Chain A
Amino acid sequence: MGSAGRVVLVTGVSRDLGRRFARAIAADPSVDRVVGVDAVPPRGDIGDVSFVRADIRNPVIAKVIVKEDVDTVVHMSVISTPGSAGGRNTMKELNVIGTMQLLAACQKAPGLRALVVKSSTTVYGASHRDPAMFTEDMEPRRTPRAGYAKDVIEVEGYVRGFARRRPDVRVTTIRAANVVGPEVTSPLTSYFRLPVVPTVLGYDPRLQLLHERDLLDVLRHAITAEVAGTFNVAGDGMLMLSQAVRRLQRPTVPLPSFALGRVRSTLRSARIADISPELLALLTYGRGVDTSRMRTELGFEPAFTTAEAFADFAAPLPPTGGYADRLLGRMAQSLPEPAAPAAVTLERPEPSYARGVDRG
């Protein structure tokens, strides 16, 4: 299809990940031009990206697509937090109506060849009836009735409808696991940035994470790879929430779920962290997704495992706890026998953690 001379339209460039993604593909030689679209101007440097201030919620977007002769649309403006956009109503409108308008515009664009949608593994929900690992064909066991999770389900529904109506357009949906990274601001990262981390008493969920760089890479890969379909994208391996918090060296406060609701509203009104209902479900029951299709069909391999992504996220965070570790370390030092660590490594069956974090 002569990839030289491609014009890529990226929605949601006012957000950090959208802006960085637009910049990254603008530097790609196979991409001729990148058009960034958002209702508000991006805050940072967007490099070679030409920014068009347009709200995807109104039909202007169709004109932009036709005028710029766009052949690839990357939809990144399905947002998980209202943030600066306003309240939940604005967020829903932006997510659902915005997607509808964008897809309507795409349907009318004859030159369009590819659509890449950044979705989320939140579509699978999180409940006690979940299988351990969701594959792309599985439905959520308990359909979310509100919030971001419901938005994502609706967005994916519209995308599937679009794919039926325009079979000539290659539609790739990337269901990304929770994205972490030193610069990512999301409900999960702001949760982990709390100095004292509240957890749900009696539950220890499994978390699967994706590094921000891998998210950008997989989206770029999806533009160039001629593969259509829906793909789970997540780093290898799992971290339990307790394990993650221990690696952060932050103290936890286990709270029963009803008390956590109150903490949630306090944190939200203080604008410290927004523990959304779907995040609370994740922090209670956890979620795992199967990524074999990402490897075999999409042909993408994330550079970071879950543990490495988390370590990279945790590196700039100062520990607020870790007293127990320091105490144990001092005790271990005072023991005169230094042969012990060797014995431990011999005893352990495999250097399974070798791929993980490289911190002591």
Chain B
Amino acid sequence: MGDAEIIPIGTRGRPGRGTGKQPSSAARGLANGGRLAPAAKAPTKPARAAAGPTPEPEPETAAVAPAPRPAATTRDRGPMSGIPASDWLAAIQHGAREVFGEQWEPQLARFLAFLRRRVTGDYVVDEYGFDQEITERFLMATLRPIAEKWFRIEVRGAENIPAEGGALVVSNHSGTIPVDGLMTLVSIHDHTGRFLRPLGADLVFRLPFVSSLARKSGATLACSEDAERMLNAGELVGVWPEGFKGIGKPYGERYKLQRFGRGGFVAAALRTGVPIIPLSVVGAEEIYPLVGNVPALARLLGLPYLPITPFFPALGPLGLVPLPSKWLLEFGEPIRTDELDEGAADDPMLVFNVTDQVRETIQQTLYTLLMQRQSVFK
């Protein structure tokens, strides 16, 4: 064995040439143990030297090579193949059991029925576009873990919300993005079973996606017509009279209530004779500490402000994750308006007085809650 037979393994470092016309060197080596490798070498040389009489040797090698090779069978070796169908079925059944519990078949059927109902449009919305099914099954289900696990919301005084009939929940507003509204929505639903119908600024209904989500979740425009219509229909209406002044205030001014609009919400409550329930939210101020604003860009985009927080836009989308502050929601004693006489809503002094009363109640409750709070995150 003077000169050892070199059996080529692989492509010898060159990229494989599996072009389909000629087997790659690796394939040739494997096909007949390298025995033909020297023979195959000879005819290639003249092929390179002269361009003219080359076609004959090539058919020869082509004729020799395939004869001893057995018919190539390829086996699909994808990661999903080779698992029998019964295993698939078992896995799906197991998964369904995990998700839907032991009664997974009727559960799944019910879920499919729900999906079909959605897909065929076989559901009802009320005149404001409120879609109760999607709010309960989708919006609430998404928000609940955030409310319970991330913000660990503690609700106090939920018994102050009447079980039925119209009522107006008036809350402070904070947090750069109106997350507090969403959290109030889910907290009230979980504690009383009632749906809060929020009144939103007209910006909400101008923005794409936000507007359709707002209507589906029961919101409507904050105007006296809609507020009175809802209150007359016995709905639980939520209003954030500070508006953009409240959620867009800098972090340094946290928990200082801004002006309460023009008292329109009080006039609406007086006209319809429903109680006003003050709500104080502690914790929402810290989720996105607003340290700056880009007024020029905000004006360009038609937004009331463009927030800069310590993490946004510095961390990009990661900066949109709210800080996990501990939240306290306290519903105060209802302020009755049905005892006042008929024309009370047209008495501006009375309206201002009631507005101030609501504002003071919320402010004092905020201070009390802040005293009780151990730290921002606990």
Taking Cβ atoms with an 8 Å cutoff, the residues of A that contact B are: 128-133, 135, 138, 200-204, 206, 237-240, 242-247, 249, 256, 285-286, 288, 307, 322, 324-325, 328-329, 331-332, 335-337, 339-341, 343-344, 347, 352-353, 356-357, 360
Taking Cβ atoms with an 8 Å cutoff, the residues of B that contact A are: 105-106, 108-110, 112-116, 118-129, 131, 202-203, 205-212, 215-216, 220-221, 223, 225-226, 229
Cβ-defined contact, B124 with A325, below 8 A: no
Cβ-defined contact, B110 with A204, below 8 A: no
* Given A128-B206, A131-B223, A202-B211, CB of A243 within 8 Å of CB of B127: no
Chain B residues, Cβ within 8 Å of A200? 208
Chain B residues, Cβ within 8 Å of A239? 121, 125
Shortest CB distance B106–A (Å): 5
Cβ-defined contact, A247 with B121, below 8 A: yes
Q: Give A298 to B215 CA distance when docked, in angstroms.
A: 31
Q: A131-B229, A337-B105 are in contact. List 19 more A-B contacts (CB 8 A).
A: A128-B203, A132-B221, A133-B226, A203-B208, A206-B129, A237-B127, A238-B126, A238-B129, A246-B118, A246-B120, A256-B208, A288-B128, A324-B119, A325-B119, A337-B109, A340-B109, A340-B113, A341-B109, A344-B110
Cβ-defined contact, A202 with B212, below 8 A: yes
- Among A202, A247, A285, A343, the residue within 8 A (CB) of B110 is A343
Chain B residues, Cβ within 8 Å of A329? 116
Q: B113, B121, B131, B229 — which one has the most chain A CB atoms within 10 A of its CB?
A: B121
* Given A138-B225, A335-B109, CB of A353 within 8 Å of CB of B129: no
Cβ-defined contact, A353 with B109, below 8 A: no
- Among B105, B123, B210, B211, the residue within 8 A (CB) of A243 is B123
Shortest CB distance A39–B (Å): 40
Shortest CB distance B360–A (Å): 30
A-B contact pairs, 12 of them (CB 8 A): A132-B128, A132-B225, A133-B225, A202-B209, A202-B212, A204-B129, A206-B127, A243-B121, A246-B121, A340-B112, A353-B122, A353-B123
Shortest CB distance B19–A (Å): 41
Q: Give A247 to B122 CA distance when docked, in angstroms.
A: 7
Cβ-defined contact, B120 with A336, below 8 A: no
Q: A129, A138, A204, A238 — which one has the most chain B CB atoms within 10 A of its CB?
A: A204
Cβ-defined contact, B211 with A332, below 8 A: no
Cβ-defined contact, A130 with B110, below 8 A: no
Q: Give A240 to B202 CA distance when docked, in angstroms.
A: 19
